[in-house]
Structure formats: structure tokens, C-alpha cells
Amino acid sequence: MNDELNDPELQKILSKKANQILNSLKEKVEEPVKHLNSKNFEEFITKNKIAVVDFWAEWCAPCFILAPIIEELANDYPQVAFGKLNTEENQDIVMRYGIMSLPTVMLFKNGEPVDQILGAVPREEIEVRIKALLE
């Protein structure tokens, strides 16, 4: 048994796997809400069964009220992917989804938009809609 643990090839594989696990945990801890842009948006909504996207802008005061609520939900619902998209920097996506008010929270299931919430709303309002998608 000890000889197996001293196998350099096995040690290499175990070390690589341990690093992969640590990196994935770091990503979750460091960034519960992923920053989205034109390059990663499509992959984000399609690779995650349920995705919640917060459309925001730096000049939008209600967006800053909503941001900590989105972060709390991201921590409480690890099975749901949460992202935020700066509307000023990603007009192509804003136009594609017809975003006209900020903040707008759009919920996607299997890559398709299924619900949206306008304005800085209480946590419970977003949570009810997330739970409905999880059922």
C-alpha cells in the first residue's frame, strides 16, 4: 500500500486533481457573481441549467441597492449561476434582450430567457422566481 503512495505518477495525478478542486473552490468563493461580457455571456447562459443575470450600469443607483441582494442569493443558491452584465459596455446583448430599464434581472433556463424582474426589488421577489425554476 505504501509503495502505491510513493508512485510519482500517482502523486502527479493527485496533485493535479487537488489543484483543480482548489481552483474551482476559489472561483466560487472569490466570485459568486460572474462578470459577464459579449465574449462569455452566451456560454454562461447555455452551460448553466439556470442562470440569473443582473443587467446594471455604473450610473444606476438602484443597481447598487440590488447588487448585495444578488450576491446573497448567489451564495445561498450554489446550484444556480449568477452573473452581472454592465449594460454600458455590452450594448449588443442589451439590444438583443430589449433591456430598457435598470436594473433588470433576467432569469434563463437551458439558455432561454424565462422571466425578468425590473427595478431594485426585495430579495424575496427574486427568490420566489428562482425557487419556481428549481422545481
The domain spans of the chain are 34-134
* pLDDT per residue as tens digits for the range 42-76: 999 999 999 999 999 999 999 999 999 999 999 99
Catalytic, 63? Answer: yes
For the cut 60, the answer to whether the pLDDT of residue 28 exceeds it is no
Residue 85 to residue 94: CA distance in whole angstroms? 9
For the cut 60, the answer to whether the pLDDT of residue 97 exceeds it is yes
What fold, for 34-134?
Answer: Glutaredoxin (3.40.30)
Residue 84 to residue 49: CA distance in whole angstroms? 17
Average model confidence (pLDDT) for the chain?
A: 91
Residue 44 to residue 13: CA distance in whole angstroms? 29
| Contacts for 125 with CB less than 8 Å, ≥ 6 apart | 117
Q: Which of 37, 40, 60, 115 is catalytic?
A: 60
Q: What is the pLDDT of residue 89?
A: 97
For the cut 70, the answer to whether the pLDDT of residue 5 exceeds it is no
Q: What is the pLDDT of residue 26?
A: 59
**Which of 98, 16, 24, 128 is CA-nearest to residue 52?**
128
For the chain, give the percent of residues with pLDDT over 70. 90
Give this prediction's pTM: 0.78
| Locus of grid cell 489543484 | 19
Q: What is the pLDDT of residue 20?
A: 76
β-pairing, 81-86 with 50-56? parallel
Element (H, E) at 52: strand 50-56
Q: Which of 45, 50, 53, 63 is catalytic?
A: 63
Q: Let me know how many helices (H) and strands (E) the chain has, helices first.
A: 6, 5
For the cut 80, the answer to whether the pLDDT of residue 1 exceeds it is no
Catalytic, 17? Answer: no
- The alpha carbons of the chain give a radius of gyration, in whole angstroms, of 19
